[in-house]
Chains A and B, each alone.
Chain A
């Protein structure tokens, strides 16, 4: 709490540099990207001639970008769902005071210490159709002609090749989801569960009626954190699959990078990044509003 004028001065002095830097390097550059996205800039020399929404129209007409948006939607959906389910189950099992809890917790959390680049390279080799896990499957007598991320098959708008990326990304983040669920589970007062048990609730009912509702805010944070990772996904894709067959594993981030830095089409590249920003904002802003409301309530 600010008590004196002196404290106030100190506080302002402390936050000023970060406010200045953030407003230049975050918000200033967002505005700059916005301006670039409605400009004719193509080639190295900046050209800010205003062209209205031309870049955006061009973008949404492009088949590649439409595929990218669908890929993002499917990837986000399945990646979050997998992490939440696997993470919760792991947390629930570990929370039952099993022996060697610390070991399991560390093992599951460990992938998070890796960068997406490492994960991508490792999974690219493992899922390579000619010398990856297919060989193990073959030796065990299972069907072994999986194309993994090279499979161009589509089911509706869903590219089967995406499952490989979902697998790799979930492997990396299920442990993190487990960790936050574990923290959530530990914060549920034991009396609550005990009294439910006294009232004759089965274990499944306790999970469904007591535990899950009390973990709702944890789930929400997990969705937001995982969601903003998956909407911006870039490094994993670059390291693991590239654009894939017929852009089966292409994402807006990859498209943006190629358009801007290999194609020198800065206007279109900026338009892609603005679309990505809007997508992330759509989940982050409601969350921030929600959190902010909660805080003012308390």
Chain B
């Protein structure tokens, strides 16, 4: 054997490996019957993993023959899962269904690029269109079709406060932004940090900003930020940015070093009086043994009463999913009253349906459900419901500068140029 032939042989042998693997894969594909269901999520923490397991149990009871594969990808608040998902979807090996933030989170990333099947019929066939609020249907729809089924609703515009701190200083929780500044001034003078705010993950200040934008703009103009009808550098938006910057005078000194849960803990310990954070904080407080209504109270972020900033976890049906029938059954379970009432009390969120069994929910969740049924519902920016991820991560960068530089003109101009780039 000459040297050249050896080299050629070596290279050829190596090149064969991937092809033989592919051939084997194709063979399997042909004789497949639908017997499995692979679900990709990033739910790994206590309550959420259990909630998913309970929901899967509901599915198993109805379809005992289907082998459900729970593929959880841990880490990075879902960014690891999204990375795995992206490579599988683009590589043509999608999972059967996956957890994704409803709204722009799925539409901008997956729907516009034609990776998903519409699933409007799941709601229509079961006559469920009426049990989901119209605002929610609008948020999860794209060009008249629904592409993912919401399993839960979290609320973003909640202000959590330490009841003991307010009583000790003879103060009432602020109802409006003007009252917020009065109360904050008095708390500051008394040596209590008025507002706990996190920052390690880059989105926490954006979370506060979305509440302030809503408070200053109202729900219609707030929605307009995402479709280009409200200017980011208009006078109302500038007023909101200015209020946001003023609020930063009252935040925790180590803002950039703490997470949103650390901030909630500062409030629990009484180091800080209030924090604006999503209602997963309620689950955290329960877990550390606090009593709702006694140790901590809640209310809509001052100035946002009557409005509900929502984020939602949803499941969809990718094109080329190996077991589409099983996925449709899964989505039906997800959308069903039984499914939602099984999942949400454990997860600590409220159902996306408005006809839930109220006996299963605790005092905070019931109050959130009442607001959800009544309020104007708008999508959350910081959690991927209002703006697609590219836009959202760029907004987070602008906010990071805004928090330190407090330069609202520059921020408004940057926000506007991002809107020009991303509004379709």
Binding site for B on A (CB under 8 A): 5, 8-9, 12-13, 16-17, 20-21, 42-46, 63-64, 124, 128-130, 147-150, 152, 241-248, 258-259, 261-265
Given A128-B254, A245-B255, A12 and B389 contact (CB-CB distance below 8 Å):
no
Given A44-B86, A259-B393, A264-B109, A244 and B256 contact (CB-CB distance below 8 Å):
yes
Complex CA–CA separation, A13 to B200 (angstroms)? 51
The verdict on B420 contacting chain A, using a C-beta distance below 8 Å, is no
Are B113 and A8 within 8 A (Cβ)? no
**Most B C-beta atoms less than 10 A away, residue of A242, A248, A262:** A262
Complex CA–CA separation, A263 to B418 (angstroms)? 13
**Which chain B residues (106-135) contact chain A, with CB distance < 8 Å?**
108-110, 112-115
CB distance from A53 to the nearest CB of B (A): 18
**Most A C-beta atoms less than 10 A away, residue of B10, B109, B253:** B10
Q: Which of B83, B109, B200, B401 contacts A242 (CB 8 A)?
A: B200
Are B6 and A12 within 8 A (Cβ)? yes
Given A43-B109, A149-B257, A242-B200, A263 and B10 contact (CB-CB distance below 8 Å):
no
Nearest chain B residue, comparing its CB with the CB of A263: B393
A261 CB contacts on chain B under 8 angstroms: 79, 82-83, 86
Are A20 and B255 within 8 A (Cβ)? no
List the count of A-B residue pairs having beta carbons below 8 Å apart: 110
Are A147 and B79 within 8 A (Cβ)? no
Given A13-B6, A46-B90, A265 and B256 contact (CB-CB distance below 8 Å):
no
Are B400 and A246 within 8 A (Cβ)? yes
Are A242 and B201 within 8 A (Cβ)? yes
Are B254 and A44 within 8 A (Cβ)? no
Are B3 and A242 within 8 A (Cβ)? no
Nearest chain A residue, comparing its CB with the CB of B202: A243
B202 CB contacts on chain A under 8 angstroms: 242-243, 258
A-B contact pairs, 30 of them (CB 8 A): A8-B3, A9-B3, A13-B10, A16-B14, A20-B11, A21-B14, A44-B109, A44-B113, A44-B115, A45-B90, A45-B114, A129-B257, A147-B253, A148-B257, A149-B257, A150-B253, A150-B256, A152-B256, A241-B200, A241-B256, A242-B256, A245-B403, A246-B400, A246-B401, A246-B405, A247-B401, A258-B202, A261-B79, A261-B83, A264-B389
CB distance from B318 to the nearest CB of A (A): 11
B90 CB contacts on chain A under 8 angstroms: 44-46
CB distance from B420 to the nearest CB of A (A): 14
Complex CA–CA separation, A64 to B79 (angstroms)? 21
Interface of A, secondary structure class, is helix
Binding site for A on B (CB under 8 A): 1, 3, 6-7, 10-11, 14, 79, 82-83, 86, 89-90, 108-110, 112-115, 199-202, 253-257, 388-390, 392-394, 397, 400-401, 403-405
B6 CB contacts on chain A under 8 angstroms: 9, 12-13
CB distance from A245 to the nearest CB of B (A): 4
B108 CB contacts on chain A under 8 angstroms: 43
Complex CA–CA separation, A9 to B5 (angstroms)? 10
CB distance from B240 to the nearest CB of A (A): 21
Complex CA–CA separation, A21 to B112 (angstroms)? 36
Complex CA–CA separation, A63 to B390 (angstroms)? 17
Nearest chain B residue, comparing its CB with the CB of A45: B113
Q: Which of B113, B115, B254 contacts A150 (CB 8 A)?
A: B254
B253 CB contacts on chain A under 8 angstroms: 129-130, 147, 150
Are A16 and B254 within 8 A (Cβ)? no
6 shortest A-B CB distances, which residue pairs? A246-B404, A263-B393, A16-B10, A245-B256, A45-B113, A242-B200
Q: Which of A13, A44, A241, A248 contacts B89 (CB 8 A)?
A: A44
Nearest chain B residue, comparing its CB with the CB of A243: B202
Are B82 and A64 within 8 A (Cβ)? no
A150 CB contacts on chain B under 8 angstroms: 253-257
CB distance from B137 to the nearest CB of A (A): 25
Nearest chain B residue, comparing its CB with the CB of A131: B254
Are B401 and A63 within 8 A (Cβ)? yes
**Most A C-beta atoms less than 10 A away, residue of B7, B256, B389, B392:** B256
CB distance from B109 to the nearest CB of A (A): 6
Complex CA–CA separation, A128 to B259 (angstroms)? 12
Complex CA–CA separation, A21 to B13 (angstroms)? 13
CB distance from A285 to the nearest CB of B (A): 28
Are A44 and B110 within 8 A (Cβ)? yes
Complex CA–CA separation, A242 to B255 (angstroms)? 12
A241 CB contacts on chain B under 8 angstroms: 200, 256-257
A129 CB contacts on chain B under 8 angstroms: 253-254, 257
Are B390 and A42 within 8 A (Cβ)? yes
Nearest chain A residue, comparing its CB with the CB of B266: A130
CB distance from A159 to the nearest CB of B (A): 11
CB distance from A202 to the nearest CB of B (A): 48
B89 CB contacts on chain A under 8 angstroms: 44
CB distance from B398 to the nearest CB of A (A): 10
Complex CA–CA separation, A259 to B79 (angstroms)? 12
Q: Which of B14, B112, B390, B394 contacts A20 (CB 8 A)?
A: B14
CB distance from B54 to the nearest CB of A (A): 29
A46 CB contacts on chain B under 8 angstroms: 90
Nearest chain B residue, comparing its CB with the CB of A46: B90
Are A243 and B400 within 8 A (Cβ)? yes
B115 CB contacts on chain A under 8 angstroms: 44-45
Nearest chain A residue, comparing its CB with the CB of B384: A262
CB distance from A27 to the nearest CB of B (A): 15
Complex CA–CA separation, A243 to B200 (angstroms)? 7
A9 CB contacts on chain B under 8 angstroms: 1, 3, 6
